[in-house]
Amino acid sequence: MIKSLTIRNYALIEQLEVSFDAGLTTITGETGAGKSLLLGALGLLLGKRADLNSIRDKDKKCAIEGVYNIKNYNLTSVFEKEDLDYEEETIIRREILPSGKSRAFINDTPVTLQSLQTIGSYLIDIHSQHQTMAVTTNTFQMQVLDALASNEKILTSYKRGLVILKNKEKEKLQLEANKSEFVKEYDYNSFLLKELDEAKLKENEQTELEEQIETLSNVEEIRERLTTSLAITSNEEVGVLDMLNTVKANLTKIESYSADFQELSTRLQSAYLELEDITENISEAVEKLDADPQQLEQLNDRLQFIHNLHLKHTTGTVSELLIIQKELQEKVSKTDSLDEEIGILEKEIIKIKGQLNQVAEKLHVRRSKALPKLTKELEKLLSGLGMPNARFKASITLNDSYGDSGKDTLEFLFSANKGGNFDELKKVASGGELSRIMIAIKAVLSNYQKLPTIIFDEIDTGVSGEVAQKMADMMMDMSKNLQVFSITHLPQIAANGQHQFKVYKEDINNVTVTQLRLLNQEDRIKEIAEMIGGKDISESALTHAKALLLAH
């Protein structure tokens, strides 16, 4: 329930602070006094769009704050989902800055309008005449039926399963799309992969081939250069090795005279051994040299083959070709495995559908049992609201398709007059009849679920006399289970309220402002008498007003 409301700098309201209690509260006042301003301010707390024109003083911010007792609403999980701290006494604040920027806070935590709308929907239900059309929608009718059938837990289970089903079906469609795309390329990818597999490419192969070809292409020059070098190093009389050997012998003879000579001898020994090894390698290289035109042709063919692969795949190295080979393997393998994956998903979808069908059938059975009860209660309430011949013809059918709230189709037909044709509510019910149907539905719902605070905004328009009193009694019954506000022009409903506020305008310092005041018993008598007989209050109007108040 809403405990208090504070409004500052909003339209004709300069500053307003008011506290509310449980039960039925009526709000009265002349047309144009500003009752709509209260609803507008509450609408901002529920997440409606802010309008800079709502600011009274354009140089100051507009602030609206509501304090709610939500202890009995079981909203902990809702707050957790919105990533908000849960407080049994929750404060919602909305600010409109002179710049036009709007800010919203829940328990001093900044929130988006979406979060505000989500939380607000659990706190207050503002019901005005134009909102009566909601009762004509199949979605609303199904929600009412589910409330009577206590389907909340089962419906939650169904919706959870439906999300899983839709995700699996979406995944299956994506796989099928992938398969279609892969199949188009499968043959070509397989051909490319086979070519690369048969090529048996190796890392650094291209570099090695180029070196081998370079060697074979210049074999005569290489042989000549190596042979000459070998002669210079290994000639028995004038070769480098022979001369180094002589130097080595001379240094060996004097190495005992000095550490420096010993070091020189050691270094020369190392140089001699290295040169000797080099000479041996040159000799081996000469022996291996062989001018083989056939081998050169084979190597050139292999290198050209690799170059052709580079052109085909737009690559420059064998490493890049090997990467493409791996990618092609994955694509071909993926195509081969898609059928298996799709098959697994199809089995999962069948299983999920089976489980959903069971839950949907439970919903159908419970709805089917609750439907006659709903129509009976509504017809009884509507009879008291001046519609004695109101009748409903309702049926529920289990279908094959999965809807947001089950597999049921609800047909909710209405006839207001005896012998009249049954048809959809939006086609046969007048605005006044829809208003009465809506309040009857709210009355039924209040007995089966914890509803948020309900504000009826002149829902009683077009009714009077005994019907008005029945409507007032209905609101009073509802207020036993929830906080009810009624903005009304009917004295019967105004008198039924446990608390009554008056909205009025007054001029302060030549400025018109809207005020809201809690009426005491004497004030209520005058206000209700004025509602009965007009500004010039007669004794009979006062007597009637007292009687209405004493009756409650």
With tokens 């737009």, the residue in question is 314
Count of domains observed in the chain = 2
Same domain, 80 and 209: no
- CB-based contacts of 160: which residues, under 8 Å, 6+ apart? none
Same domain, 74 and 196: no
Q: Is the pLDDT of residue 183 over 90?
A: no
Percentage of the chain with pLDDT > 90? Answer: 38
Record the tokens describing residue 457, joined without a space: 């905004």
Of 296, 311, 337, the domain-final residue: 337
pTM of the model: 0.66
Q: How confident is the model at residue 169 (pLDDT cuts 50, 70, 90)?
A: very high
Q: Is the pLDDT of residue 246 over 80?
A: yes
Same domain, 119 and 182: no
CB 405 within 8 Å of CB 147: no
Q: Is the pLDDT of residue 351 over 80?
A: yes
Q: What is the pLDDT of residue 130?
A: 60
Q: Is the pLDDT of residue 432 over 80?
A: no
Mean pLDDT (the chain) is 87
Give the CB-side neighbour count of residue 442, counting CA atoms within 13 A. Answer: 32
Q: How confident is the model at residue 227 (pLDDT cuts 50, 70, 90)?
A: confident
Q: Is the pLDDT of residue 168 over 80?
A: yes
* Phi–psi pair at 463, nearest 5 degrees: -120, 160
268 lies in some domain: yes
- Across 292-320, b (16+ Cβ under 10 Å) vs e yields eeeebeebeebbeebeebeeebebeebee
Of 288, 309, 337, the domain-final residue: 337
440 lies in some domain: no
Beginning with the edge strand found earlier in the chain, give each strand of the sheet holding 2-10 in spatial order. Answer: 13-19, 2-10, 62-69, 89-96, 102-106, 109-110
Q: What is the pLDDT of residue 23?
A: 93
Same domain, 190 and 72: no
- CB-based contacts of 432: which residues, under 8 Å, 6+ apart? 461, 462, 463
- CB-based contacts of 421: which residues, under 8 Å, 6+ apart? 415, 428
- DSSP assignment of 459-475: TTTT--HHHHHHHHHHH
Q: Is the pLDDT of residue 4 over 90?
A: yes
Q: What is the pLDDT of residue 461?
A: 72
* Interatomic CA distance for residues 430 and 416, integer angstroms: 9
Give the CB-side neighbour count of residue 189, counting CA atoms within 13 A. Answer: 19
Alpha helices in 91-218 (DSSP H): 113-120, 138-148, 152-199, 205-217
* Interatomic CA distance for residues 72 and 3, integer angstroms: 14
CB 486 within 8 Å of CB 20: no
Record the tokens describing residue 144, joined without a space: 């009412």
Whichever domain contains 478, its CATH number is 3.40.50.300
199 lies in some domain: yes
- DSSP assignment of 338-358: HHHHHHHHHHHHHHHHHHHHH
Beginning with the edge strand found earlier in the chain, give each strand of the sheet holding 511-518 in spatial order. Answer: 124-128, 453-457, 484-487, 24-28, 499-508, 511-518
Same domain, 295 and 194: yes
Q: What is the pLDDT of residue 491?
A: 92
Q: What is the pLDDT of residue 99?
A: 87
Largest separation between any pair of C-alpha atoms in the chain: 154
Comparing 128-132, 282-286, 437-441, the range with the smallest average pLDDT is 128-132
Q: Is the pLDDT of residue 437 over 90?
A: no
Q: What is the pLDDT of residue 131?
A: 63
pLDDT tens string 285-342: 887 777 677 877 888 888 888 888 889 888 888 889 999 989 888 877 776 677 888 8
Q: Is the pLDDT of residue 419 over 90?
A: no
Q: How confident is the model at residue 230 (pLDDT cuts 50, 70, 90)?
A: confident
CB atoms within 10 A of CB 458: 18
13 lies in some domain: yes
Same domain, 84 and 221: no
249 lies in some domain: yes
* Interatomic CA distance for residues 496 and 471, integer angstroms: 10
Of 304, 320, 337, the domain-final residue: 337
In eight-state DSSP terms, residue 55 is B
Same domain, 14 and 77: yes
Q: What is the pLDDT of residue 329?
A: 82
Amino acid at 189: N
pLDDT tens string 92-130: 999 999 888 899 999 999 999 999 999 998 899 888 766
Most confident residue range from 247-261, 356-370, 371-385, 443-457: 356-370
* Interatomic CA distance for residues 161 and 362, integer angstroms: 14
pLDDT tens string 355-404: 999 999 999 999 999 999 999 999 999 988 888 999 999 999 999 999 99
Give the domain extent around 267: 177-337
524 lies in some domain: no
Q: What is the pLDDT of residue 128?
A: 72
138 lies in some domain: no
CB 385 within 8 Å of CB 463: yes
- CB-based contacts of 125: which residues, under 8 Å, 6+ apart? 451, 452, 453, 454, 455
Same domain, 116 and 190: no
Q: What is the pLDDT of residue 328?
A: 85
CB 495 within 8 Å of CB 22: no
pLDDT tens string 189-214: 888 888 888 888 888 888 888 887 87
- Across 356-385, b (16+ Cβ under 10 Å) vs e yields beebbebbbebbbebbeebbebbbebbebb
Q: What is the pLDDT of residue 409?
A: 93
* Interatomic CA distance for residues 370 and 145, integer angstroms: 7
CB 157 within 8 Å of CB 357: no
224 lies in some domain: yes
SS3 readout for 172-200:
HHHHHHHHHHHHHHHHHHHHHHHHHHHHC
